[in-house]
Structure 1
Amino acid sequence: MNNLEERGHLLTEQVNPNSQNLDQLSSLELVELFNSEDAKTLSAIAEAKEQLAKAIDIGAHQLHRGGRLFYVGAGTSGRLGVLDAAECPPTFCSPPELVQGIIAGGAGALIRSSEDLEDRAEDGAEAIAHRQITELDVVVGITAGGTTPFVQGALNAAKARGASTVLIACVPATQVKSEADVDIRLLVGPEILAGSTRLKAGTVTKMALNIISTGVMVKLGKVYGNRMVDVAVTNKKLHDRALRMLVDLTELSREDAGYLLERSGRSVKLSLLMHWTGLDKEAGVELLNAHQGQLRPALLSYQKSQQ
């Protein structure tokens, strides 16, 4: 799009015919309208399932090779990316640098409006250079309307450096084209409040980021079954969750599970491996490392070695 001032035709900027009397609705009618419109986020995710799966596969492949995952956005889109990145370390015990959020305006933009900073493509490119992004990394550009210069500048710079690129937008490709390796379009339609993409567009974007980051972490072996066995045991709630996982999966008493957890260095994954194999901590770590930290392959390998 050559003239970024003329965005009225974009799907995210159009007027929703279902909410033209928004200011006349009762509170209950408002809730009902939101509910019916938000239901469209589910179908939008379903329509984009192939692209989301591709993003997971590329992300897992690149991170397995030593790369990093970056989310880039401005305003609401940037905040959602930072949020998803921030939730990975406590959930999956991943290092903070593995998944990172880049928002136009930096940390200050998380708590105050910075939408005036989204129009500088060169700032997006500079953010990519500053983080020394390489061909091992994955950069996900998040822009509801698809046109945000900060995001486009970042994606172009990342692509020039050989990184894998993903675009998440809420407008069809016919309105805004993309040369990203993975082009994810989440078409939820016009917002109840015209142009306010913190609503449906924000909701469906959060859903997509949940799917991508969780899917990547599953592929990296951060999960066993549906348990977050790489959870960082950093507070009472997470310590309790760790103990409950061990009790459920091993049938140990809570007291014995606590002892096992401490012997492993507070690693649920290592605790399980030690319990199921009889290995000590050092040997368990060695076996896990030999299988890229993945518990199930490590267990299968040990079981075969004992036959």
Structure 2
Amino acid sequence: MRTSEMNAISAGMETGRSHAFLMKRIRKMWLLYAMLVPALILVALFNYIPMYGVLIAFKTFRVADGIWGSTWNDFEHFRTLFSTVGFTRALRNTVIISLLRLVFGFPMPILFALLINEMRNGWFKKTVQSISYLPHFISWVVLAGIVGEILSPQRGVLNYLIQLAGGKPIYFLISNDWFRSILIATDIWKDVGWSAIIYIAALASIDPQLYEAADMDGASRLRKAWHISIPGIVPMIVILFLIKIGHVLNSGFDQIFNLYNPLVYETGDVLDTFIYRIGILNARYDFSTAVGLFMNAIGILLLLGSNMIIRRKSEYGIW
């Protein structure tokens, strides 16, 4: 018997054994798989079946004709993307705000988790952690009102302190010079505590014997954090960084929509708010769908590219 035939037979036997093992596992844990079925049905109903609506990005959509009855437009919406008033500005702002969030916002939960991990007083540690993630449960509608009061030029605390120091009140929320900084600062304030939870959990899984060995060698807290804590959570950092890269064109509709106004469109208008105005307010559903499809396509390419680069340089990655 030739080698190729023997390899084929061996591969077939291996496949059969894997299939038998899988079926045995399903029969043994059928209850857990049955509990998974409702979640799969919900995902199919609300995430996959509606995806047929993406067809209107390739059509001149008319509500009276429906999705299937509308005529194809030969990629007209995609050809006119960059010549549309406001699109290039929204794309530029989206990229800038997302990069600022990656540079300033992404490391903050990591640093906060490391600080929490170094606290020795259990009561104080739990109190700080609880207070830090409370803003996550407040909607941006409420937080936008709080931020507006804090930054108000007439009654805001911040402007009151500026005037005490001899300065003039600043209209923060209508200033293009300040708006992006406010977005980054409030985003960190809202989510730093909640985002740190996953890093705190990863730090808790590090073998305590590594810290004990470092103590015996006389390592300081800073050295233990640098040589033990950070390397221990690198896989989690990489995975969350890749997820952030995949969402680089989704810059947070809720936050920006509740904080921005026409005076800061130059620096605050992003693709999400642009789609809202074009699609919902102007009823250009087909064009706004094309913009959304463009965003998702770029996000997938960025995710695949960054994951491939990281996999080549290290053993970590999403797949």
TM-score tier by shorter-chain length is under 0.3
Q: TM-score, normalised by structure 1?
A: 0.25
Higher Cα radius of gyration: 2
Task: Flag the structure with higher strand content.
Answer: 1
- Structure number with the bigger relative contact order (C-alpha 8 A, sep ≥ 6) is 2
